[in-house]
Amino acid sequence: MAKIAICGYGTVGSGVAEVITENADNIARNAAEEVEIKYILDTREFPGDPFEKYIVHDFSIIEKDPEVSIVIETIGGTKIAYEFTKRALLAGKSVVTSNKELVATKGHELIAIAKKNNLNYLFEASVGGGIPIIRPITQCLAANKIDEVYGILNGTTNYILTEMIKNNASFDDALHQAQSNGYAELDPTADIEGLDAARKICILSDLCFGKHVNPADVRAEGIRGVTSADVEYAKRLNCKIKLLGRALRTGHDTATAYVAPHLVSKSSLLSNVDGVMNGIVVHGNALGNTMFYGAGAGKRPTASAVVADVIDAVKHVKARKYLDWDDAPAGYFTDSAYVASRWYVRAATSLQQIGWAFDKVNFVTYPGAAADEYAFATDVYDENTVRKLTSGMTVRSMFRILD
């Protein structure tokens, strides 16, 4: 019998307790051993909660209990979560987490501690919520040289954009719904500003290209600047606006990553990834493009991925499997501004000014469009060039187009 402790009884932690209890038979069969909750750590009390009897407030109870072989960290953040993860590993317990911030910033160090102690540090739930993505990249796609990975990596912002596009919802109402559905981070700024997606694209980049990318180096633009006018213009360009995280190789031993809203062509599968769903496209040199799709946030989908890792940690006690990457050499991470694409521009300017700046553009409008602005799609330019070309205009929105 494997005994586990859940640290952090919030949305994901409570989902893990539910799934482990409800699916106990199935989990025991797949793990070849029963899995039982021994403790749930949280600072709060939970009177009347079905798992109340497991609640403890002191991590050292878990740390010192030799019966606990796996610690599930669903606290979030990089302070207490980091401390408890380290202490758990040093106390001989494998750790399973959904904490993308911790994996993106300290994953390399924590994996090294796990390896040294013949333990696991597993994080399938850190990217794409319930979507199997970490294992497929590192196992099923292992024969490929992966040169690009991109997609919709944040359920909250995809939910907000979908509500704005399909149901004309206001930004604030849609955010409120995402929060009550348990999709958003405790501080939803991380979702809205693209920081959550930036952490996830770092983890994907680390695994796909084998070298560490620091989230602080990744340019992240969120969805605050997306307006209903942009949504309307995008429709006329046969596109939908989606927040994408993207990582790509830029040379022999260089790569870049960024997060930004994009106009995604309706002919792309990603354009139909709506609501809380996430979609991740991986391009490998043998397989070509593969897309992974599913619930990117939420209590039970995320718990599904966490519990799968628990089963893995129980099963592979004697033959641990390590997901790892190297430190990046100086100069490995390049500026994403040099990545070229077509651009959508909405600007208060004159036709003459646009004509001076660009050889060719594709204008769009819609009934009710503001009289003092033009919206158009450009040819392919890198970001620095398009900014230079539009420097004489009052740019209201400027997003990449993903064809």
Cβ distance to ligand HSE smaller for residue 119 or 165: 165
Per CB under 6 A, does 130 bind ligand HSE? no
Cβ distance to ligand HSE smaller for residue 97 or 154: 154
Cβ distance to ligand HSE smaller for residue 154 or 341: 154
Q: Which helix (H) or strand (E) holds 239?
A: strand 239-251
Segment near ligand HSE (CB under 6 A); pick from 152-160, 326-334, 335-343, 387-395: 152-160
Give me the sign of the Cα torsion angle 133, 138, 141, 144.
positive
Q: Which backbone phi and psi does 136 adopt, to 5 degrees?
A: -55, -40
Rounded CA separation 177/190 (Å): 16
Closest approach, Cβ 300 to ligand HSE, in A, equals 12
Which of 42, 73, 101, 191 touches ligand HSE by CB under 6 A?
A: 191
Per CB under 6 A, does 295 bind ligand HSE? no
Per CB under 6 A, does 185 bind ligand HSE? yes
Supply the DSSP string of 245-301, one letter for each residue.
Answer: EEEEEEETTEEEEEEEEEEEETTSGGGG--TTEEEEEEEETTTEEEEEEEE-SSHHH
Closest approach, Cβ 122 to ligand HSE, in A, equals 16
Closest approach, Cβ 278 to ligand HSE, in A, equals 7
Q: Of how many residues is the chain composed?
A: 403
The 8-class DSSP code of residue 176 comes to H
Binding residue count for ligand HSE, defined by CB under 6 A? 11
> Contact 238/271 with Cβ under 8 angstroms?
no
Among 38, 100, 200, 299, the active-site one is: 200
The 8-class DSSP code of residue 215 comes to G
Closest approach, Cβ 158 to ligand HSE, in A, equals 8
Helix 155-167 to helix 171-180 angle, to the nearest 10 degrees?
Answer: 130
On the 0-12 / 13-18 / 19+ scale of CB atoms within 10 A, 114 is buried
> Contact 165/240 with Cβ under 8 angstroms?
yes
> Contact 309/127 with Cβ under 8 angstroms?
no
200 catalytic? Reply is yes
344 - beta bridge partners?
377, 399
Rounded CA separation 207/201 (Å): 10
Picking from 211, 205, 174, 168, the residue whose alpha carbon sits closest to that of residue 191 is: 174
Per CB under 6 A, does 14 bind ligand HSE? no
Closest chain position to ligand HSE (CB): 156
Cβ distance to ligand HSE smaller for residue 154 or 271: 154
Closest approach, Cβ 190 to ligand HSE, in A, equals 7
Per CB under 6 A, does 129 bind ligand HSE? yes
> Contact 346/398 with Cβ under 8 angstroms?
yes
Which of 73, 196, 230, 309 touches ligand HSE by CB under 6 A?
A: 196
Per CB under 6 A, does 156 bind ligand HSE? yes
Cβ distance to ligand HSE smaller for residue 154 or 397: 154
Rounded CA separation 275/12 (Å): 19
Cβ distance to ligand HSE smaller for residue 240 or 346: 240
Which of 234, 259, 297, 307 touches ligand HSE by CB under 6 A?
A: 297
Token pair 């990744």 is found at 218
Per CB under 6 A, does 183 bind ligand HSE? yes
Rounded CA separation 4/268 (Å): 42
Cβ distance to ligand HSE smaller for residue 124 or 191: 191
Which of 69, 96, 296, 312 touches ligand HSE by CB under 6 A?
A: 296
Which of 94, 105, 154, 390 touches ligand HSE by CB under 6 A?
A: 154
CB atoms within 10 A of CB 350: 12
Which of 184, 192, 226, 280 touches ligand HSE by CB under 6 A?
A: 184
Rounded CA separation 279/358 (Å): 33
Cβ distance to ligand HSE smaller for residue 119 or 223: 223
Picking from 13, 74, 75, the residue whose alpha carbon sits closest to that of residue 49 is: 13
Closest approach, Cβ 45 to ligand HSE, in A, equals 25
Site residues for ligand HSE per CB under 6 A: 129, 154-156, 183-185, 191, 196, 296-297
Residues annotated catalytic, as ranges: 200
